[in-house]
Structures are given as C-alpha cells and as structure tokens.
Chain A
Amino acid sequence: MNAAVGSAGVVLGFVSAAGGIVTIALGLLGGRRGMLRQIVPFVALVALGAVVAVAAMERGLITRDFSMAYVADHGSSKTPALYNVATLWSALEGSILLWALVLAGYLAAVTAKFRHRLDDPLVGWALLTMFAVCVFFFGLMLGPANPFHTVAVAPLDGPGPNPLLQNHPLMAVHPPMLYLGYVGFTVPFAFAVAALVTGRVGEGWLVETRRWTLFAWAFLSAGIVLGAWWSYEVLGWGGYWAWDPVENASFLPWLTGTAYLHSVMVQERRGMLRVWNLSLLCATFALTILGTFLTRSGVLDSVHSFSESAIGPLLLGFFALVVFVTVGLIGWRGDRLRAPGRIDSPRSREGSFLANNLLFAAFALVVLLGTVFPLVVEAVNGDRLTVGEPYFNRMTMPIGLALLFLMAVAPALPWRKASAETLAQRLQWPAWAGTGVLVLAVVLGARGVAPLLAFGLGGFAAGAAVRQIVLATRRQGWRGFMGRTNGGMIVHLGVVLIAVAFAASSSYDHQREAALDPGESVEVAGHTITYLGFEEDTSDPAKVERRARVRVDDDGVYEPTLQRFPNGSQEIGTPSVRSSLVDDVYLALLDPPASDGGPVRLRVIVAPLVMWLWIGGGVIVFGSALAAFPGSRRRGTEPTSALVAAGRDTSPVARRPGAARPDQERPERPERPENEPIGVG
C-alpha cells in the first residue's frame, strides 16, 4: 500500500516534470508565450508527487511497514521516533527522495515568486532547466534508486539505520540543511542557463536570484558546520574535519558559491565579470552533482560514503551533461556577453574581489585535486597513492591566511581606486586590533608562525568588520546591522571565529590514552581526569550501553559510552565532552574493563576554543539572515572616499549597460564608496 502510493507519487512527479519540459519547450520554440503561463499545474503536480512519495515513505517507516524493502533494510521497530523519521535520509534511496522533495519545493517557490513573469522567456528557460533536473532525480527513483521496492515476504523486523546515524539528534537536522543548500543552488544555476540561452545578462535576474543563492549558501554553511559538529560529537576521535571525500564534496560548492557571492557585487556595481559569474554558478551546481556522484558511487573510500550502487554511472552521466551543456553555452555565448570595462587599480574594492575570487578558485582547485587525484593517478599509471589531511592542511593554510588578510583590507577599500593615505587611515584601528590579538596570543603562550598569523589576521579582519558595523550603526541606528553590506560583515565575524577556532584547536590540542583503575587520575593539559567506575545499562530495549563514569576537574561527571545495538555486531563509542568557551575536554572510552573493577582505557583530548566553531556557524547563519533584508538606501559620503572617487566617473565605460537603474530595488547607493564593503549576496 505505502509502496504503491509512493511509486505513484514518483511516477506523477516524473511525468509532470517531463510534461512541464514539453510545454515550456513548445511555448518557447513555437513562440507561443501563452503556453508558458500553463506551467503552474505541472509545477503543482511535481510538488504533489514529491510530497506524496515522501509521505508514503514516512508512513511506511512510522507504521513499520516491513513489506517495503527500504523499511526492511533500514528501519527497525526499536528505533526511537526521531531517528525513525530521519531514517528517510540515512540510506541512498531515501536521500534521493529527500533531494527530490527539496527540489520540487524550490521549483514551486520559484514559480510562485515569478508568477507574474511566467511568459518571459528568461523565466521559461529557468523553469525548463529546473524541470530537467527534476526529471533526472525522479528518473533515478524510477530506475536504480527506487525507494519503493517491495519484498516478497515481509520480515518481522529490520536492522535499523547504521548505529552511527542514530545516536545523536544532529543527524536529524544536518542532512536536510545540507540538502536545502545543495539543491538550492539549482535555482541560480537555472537562471544562469536561462541567461546564457536568451543572451540576457543584465543584473535584473541577478538581483532577484541573489537572495536565493544567499539562502542556499546559508543552509549549506549551516549543514557543513552541523556535519562537523556531528562528527565531533559522535565519531570519537576528537576531530571535526578530516578532509574526507564526503566532507570535501560539500565544501567544494561552498567555495565556488562564496566566490560568486562576492564577485556578483562587481557585476552589480561595475557591470563586469558577467561570464565569470555565470561560470561560477554553473560550476557550483556541477560540483554538487559531482559530490553526489563521488559519495554515492563507491569510487572513493570514505567513512561517510553511502553503499555502492548502480546510480553512479547515471550521476556521472548527468554531471557530464551539465558540464558540457554549460561549457558549450559559455563558449557559444560568452564572447557576446562579455562586458567592456576595466578595473582602474588593484587597490580597489573590485580589485580585492578579483583577488578573492582567485583565492577561492585556488582553494577549490586544491580541494578538488586532492580529492580526485588518487583516481587520476591510478588511471594513468596504476599506482595507488593517498592524498590525506596533511596535504590539505599544508596547501590550504596559506590560501586561508591570504583570505583572512583580504577580509581585513577589502571592506576598507573604496570602489575604483584608493590612495595609500586613505587606506592607511581606515585600516589603522583594525590593524592595531590584529596586532593586539597577536601579542595577546604570544603572551598567553601560543607558538608557531602559522597559527599566530591566523590569530593576528583574524583580529585584523574582525576589527575591519566591527569598524564597518560601528560606522553603519552610528549613521543608521539599528538598521546598521541590516542589509547585505552589514549582514555580510557579521558573516565575516563568524568566518573569523571559525578560522581562529580551527587554528587554535588543531594546533594546540593535547591527547593522551590512559589505562585507569577506579579512583585513579590522569593529568592532561592542566585538567585532572579521574575514573570513578563503570556501569552497564540494559534498560533501553534499542541498545545496551556501557558507560565509564569520569570526573573532569571538580565539576561534574561525564560518561563516555560504548553502545551495542541488538542488530549490529559492531560496538560504537559515544564520546562525552565537557565544553567551555576556553577549551573542550573530550573523553572517549576505548576499552571497557576486562573484569569487574579492572582498568578502562580512555582517550582524553583537550582542545582549546572548539566551541567557537559552532558559535561561528551560528553567527554566519545570523549574518546571512540579516543580509537578506534590504539595507538602508540613505545616501552618505565620507569626505575622504569622495575625494578618491571623484573625477573618475566621467569615463564612458562607467556608463555601462545594465548600470544601476534608479527604479531598481538595490540596497546600495551609487556614490557611496565607504561603508559598502563585501557583503554576502
């Protein structure tokens, strides 16, 4: 029953999406604009199909319908309600189903937003692209990733999801966040394709999809941070980021998406970089598909990867299609879309955005290369080699430091050109802030050039962001926090927090493995860890827990645990963490006592500032939300900036096509170079 309803939903979604493509294609190619208005029912049916399919799957999971193969393989009567619902995205077929639901949601939202412009060919091509993506994902569920197979004889119970996926509530929120981010990039991608096909690259659609991109970006950021947090709380090795292929797959679109959010401002402001921006959007979308392929085809070894399946070739084919269509479109249209114009000086806002984009592209290149290089080498000469964490850390560290530096300098740069004096004056206090942080870190005992540079530049960048916010709030009151300029500065603060916390926690952590008898203590980095005793808990039918009771310093008992789920032979550890704003004491139980009252083996990790990673993630999301509000449109000019920018605006290229139209809803002021720094979106 559930399976049949679900299958019907998938078929409905597939057929409606295909119907939508045909309708739009007829409307666009036949020049019958009226047909484009007929698209709404198709969108509604795609959305309905997705909702029905997901509802059927959830109903199957909740009612424990073990006649469904997915429920029989991944569900269990003992799984608690929260994880039972989350079982939808704990395995391959279900994750594709969730993807399709989110995609259908975006399709519906775009249609609703552009409902008055449905007969515009630009919107038509965008919807056509989105329908095509829908056809692919619904098609996957009709083919090798069918979530609604049934089993001939329903088992009495199932094994439940992987134990690692059902012992922390973050698992219930992290994948949906990530998918809202991943799939969200379909929207700007669809408009990029539409712009390429129609040849219309004015900023109109850019302005309108900017918030969609920002929305997707914020969710992707949140998803990545939550994923790191989940790893930290669950996997027991005390780390949160290992440059694992699956992590990299989510990070790659984030990098190109971030590059886009910055460089799009150059296009809005100066009309330049249009083709580059389109390329970034296409690359971001293609990278989400590539990441999906890498994590679901089994070609790469990863702790997080889904089981190997037959959808690999299809995803690769789709990736190839996306890549060749977009590269072809850019090759075909690119030269006609390129805008005339030039950048006056590298010492300008747009110059810093260019450098920013180069660094983000280099960052993405390093991550992509490191991820796929073993495959390439093996294909070329059959050698096996591994590219692991040390490579990524060493290669990305200089790029990260350079980005921190840009983050500090760029907000103070006016558009067009800055004089050294202006810059020196605007940067003085942020630079002193950075120097202060550096000196403080050295005094507190921090050593090592790379982390110290990270602290100093982090302080510098934070100083620059705070300076902008202070200037804005002085002028505009509480509205100084709103708008993408100032919201963007808050995002910068979040990124600085993460960078500093990353540098500190990975450079200054201490780890001990100790065998402790009851009552015995061990000292790690100034913390006293005392093993009190051991207990076994069988009260929960879903699992058996064996806990060590451990006192950290004098304030509380922590219980690192080993859990055994009835279905899985594998015993998994759940660490226990004492978090504080200063440092985390991370306890993992390695070996339980061999006999009653015997010693346990514990891993103790003390790492500073870890909590600031999660706080930074929250700040990024908060800043993104502020950036989505329109900012103040008040004009205001700083005398120094006006001096610098004056006399330049008479050049003909400044009066470019697509320049700011007065009626355009834009949260910025044409002639206000100061306090208009890097924002997000």
Chain B
Amino acid sequence: MAAPGRRRLAVAVAVPVAAVLALFVGVLATREPAVNRKTDSPLLDQPAPGIRGETLDGQRFDLGDLEGRWVLVNFFASWCVPCIQEHPELKRFSAEHAAAGDAEVVSVVYDNDQENTERFFAREGGDWPVVTDPQGRVALDYGVARVPESFLVDPDGVVRVKITGGVEQAGLDELLAEAGG
C-alpha cells in the first residue's frame, strides 16, 4: 500500500479501544451490588473517641473509666427495627461478660428523645449504661451513619471492630476471641 499509515489507523485505534472496553466490561461484570458492600471505618486501630456524658438515669459516664476491659459501644434508637431485633443478643452478651468481668456494653442513644428511650429499655430490658447524646456529638465522633452500629474497643482503648447492622452474641464472642487472641 502506498500509504500504510492511513490504511491502518482505524485498526490501530479500534484495538486499544476494544481492549479498554473489555477491561471496563470486566470491571462492571465483577461488581457486587452497592448494598452488599462492607463498611470500613477510619477509626479502626485508632484510639476510641472519648465518650463523656450523662446516662439515662442521670449519672456521669466516661469511657476512659472502663479501660482494662473490652467495651462494646452500641448506637441505637427506639424507632429502629434492627435495634429491637439485636437487643436480646446484647442482653445475652452483657450478662455473660458481666459475670466474667472482661467486657462491658455501653449504649449510646441516636436521634431519640429521653422518654422513648426509657420506654424502650423498660420494655426490652438491659442494665448497662445508656449514654444520652442529645446533640449527636458522640455519634458524629464515631462516624455513625445509621443505627444500629457497634464498635468493639479493646482494653487499651483502641477501636478494633466496627459492625454495621444488628449484632449477635455468638458473633461478638468470636470477634472478641479473634481480636483478643
């Protein structure tokens, strides 16, 4: 051919374009639906943000006082259905570890008023500290997007695990064993 450069231009463009598109289709084909994606937190392996405030029964609470023990920081609201579902699991976890003295549960109220929260605990039970967070500062410090969310804080006060959605006692114990081991 007299002008090979001209001849081959379309092929020279089409081949790389096809390659890029093949990669692109490959990426799209292997994506999971957006809803199933895991959530990370920049807080992992960082010191847990402090929680200082009042509990439901008017006492002073400071997360620092619990150093030396595992703490499950649980964010919840009485209007949230998965929170109601996870509550018995929390109770079991709390009871089990209160006896052993190695782990504590702390609940933080998320976007909820005192009255409804009190009613929630009266109905569902649970005897661990419930920190009111009237301005949502604690939830913000922990980066809570939607309840329920829970954080496992180790005895040195470092965040080790973030759980979005409801928790289960067995799963919590497993996480505890993993993180502690």
Answer yes or no: A and B touching, Cβ < 8 Å: yes
Residues of A within 8 A of B14 (CB): 327-328, 330-331, 334
Is A320 within 8 A of B31, CB to CB?
no
Q: Write the chain B residue with the least CB distance to A313.
A: B29
- Type the 1/0 row for A446-484, where 1 means its CB is closer than 8 Å to any CB of B: 000000000000000000000000000000000000000
B136 CB to nearest A CB, Å: 15
B10 interface hit (Cβ, 8 Å): yes
The DSSP consensus for interface residues of chain A is helix
Q: A313-B29, A316-B28, A331-B14 given as contacts; is B9 within 8 A of A324 (CB)?
A: no
A222 CB to nearest B CB, Å: 29
Is B15 within 8 A of A316, CB to CB?
no
Q: A335-B7, A338-B6 given as contacts; is B24 within 8 A of A298 (CB)?
A: no
A243 CB to nearest B CB, Å: 17
Which chain A residues in 323-350 approach chain B with CB under 8 Å?
Answer: 323-324, 327-328, 330-331, 333-335, 338
Q: A327-B18, A331-B14 given as contacts; is B7 within 8 A of A299 (CB)?
A: no
B122 interface hit (Cβ, 8 Å): no
- Type the 1/0 row for B160-179, where 1 means its CB is closer than 8 Å to any CB of A: 00000000000000000000
B17 interface hit (Cβ, 8 Å): yes
Which chain A residues in 264-321 approach chain B with CB under 8 Å?
Answer: 275, 293, 297-301, 308, 313, 316, 319-320
A154 interface hit (Cβ, 8 Å): no
A327 CA to B13 CA in the complex, in Å?
9
Is B34 within 8 A of A300, CB to CB?
yes
Is A379 within 8 A of B21, CB to CB?
no
Is B21 within 8 A of A335, CB to CB?
no
A296 CB to nearest B CB, Å: 11
Which chain B residues in 1-50 approach chain A with CB under 8 Å?
Answer: 6-11, 13-15, 17-18, 21-22, 24-25, 27-35, 37, 40
A98 CA to B14 CA in the complex, in Å?
34
A327 CA to B32 CA in the complex, in Å?
27
Is B6 within 8 A of A335, CB to CB?
yes
Is A335 within 8 A of B33, CB to CB?
no
Is B11 within 8 A of A316, CB to CB?
no
- Type the 1/0 row for A185-221, where 1 means its CB is closer than 8 Å to any CB of B: 0000000000000000000000000000000000000
Tell which of A297, A301, A316, A335 has the most Cβ of chain B within 10 Å. Answer: A335
Is B33 within 8 A of A331, CB to CB?
no
A654 interface hit (Cβ, 8 Å): no
A641 CB to nearest B CB, Å: 32
Is A327 within 8 A of B35, CB to CB?
no
Tell which of A300, A323, A331, A378 has the most Cβ of chain B within 10 Å. Answer: A331
- Type the 1/0 row for A59-79, where 1 means its CB is closer than 8 Å to any CB of B: 000000000000000000000
In-complex Cβ contact of A378 among B15, B18, B31, B35 (8 A): B31
Is A319 within 8 A of B34, CB to CB?
no
In-complex Cβ contact of A334 among B10, B28, B30, B31 (8 A): B10
Is B6 within 8 A of A320, CB to CB?
no
A208 CA to B6 CA in the complex, in Å?
29
Which chain B residues in 42-73 approach chain A with CB under 8 Å?
Answer: none
A331 CA to B15 CA in the complex, in Å?
7
Is B25 within 8 A of A334, CB to CB?
no
A297 CA to B6 CA in the complex, in Å?
41
Is A335 within 8 A of B40, CB to CB?
no
Total residues of chain B contacting the partner, CB 8 A: 26
A210 CB to nearest B CB, Å: 24
Is B18 within 8 A of A334, CB to CB?
no
Residues of B within 8 A of A293 (CB): 28
Is A324 within 8 A of B21, CB to CB?
yes
A384 interface hit (Cβ, 8 Å): yes
A372 interface hit (Cβ, 8 Å): yes
B135 CB to nearest A CB, Å: 15
A464 CA to B27 CA in the complex, in Å?
45
A335 CA to B3 CA in the complex, in Å?
11
Q: A334-B9, A334-B10, A372-B24 given as contacts; is B18 within 8 A of A299 (CB)?
A: no
Residues of B within 8 A of A308 (CB): 33, 35
A297 CA to B33 CA in the complex, in Å?
7
A364 CB to nearest B CB, Å: 14
Q: Write the chain B residue with the least CB distance to A380.
A: B27
B5 CB to nearest A CB, Å: 10
Which chain B residues in 66-121 approach chain A with CB under 8 Å?
Answer: none
Q: A300-B34, A331-B15 given as contacts; is B25 within 8 A of A323 (CB)?
A: yes
Is A330 within 8 A of B28, CB to CB?
no
Residues of B within 8 A of A323 (CB): 18, 21, 25
A299 CB to nearest B CB, Å: 5
A375 interface hit (Cβ, 8 Å): yes
Q: Write the chain A residue with the least CB distance to B11.
A: A331
Q: Write the chain B residue with the least CB distance to A290.
A: B28
B138 CB to nearest A CB, Å: 22
A592 CA to B34 CA in the complex, in Å?
33
Residues of A within 8 A of B10 (CB): 275, 330-331, 333-335, 338
Is A335 within 8 A of B25, CB to CB?
no
Q: Write the chain A residue with the least CB distance to B15.
A: A331
Residues of B within 8 A of A316 (CB): 25, 28-29
Residues of B within 8 A of A300 (CB): 34
A379 CA to B24 CA in the complex, in Å?
10
A476 CB to nearest B CB, Å: 41
Is A335 within 8 A of B8, CB to CB?
yes
Residues of A within 8 A of B32 (CB): 299
Beyond the given A327-B17, A331-B18, A338-B6, could you list 16 further A-B residue pairs with CB under 8 A, ordered by the A residue number? Answer: A293-B28, A299-B32, A313-B29, A316-B25, A320-B25, A330-B10, A330-B14, A331-B13, A331-B14, A334-B10, A335-B10, A375-B28, A375-B31, A376-B27, A379-B27, A379-B30
6 examples of A-B residue contacts, CB within 8 angstroms: A297-B33, A301-B34, A316-B28, A328-B18, A335-B11, A372-B28
The 5 A-B residue pairs with the shortest CB-CB distance in the complex, in nearest-first order: A334-B10, A331-B14, A298-B33, A301-B34, A379-B27
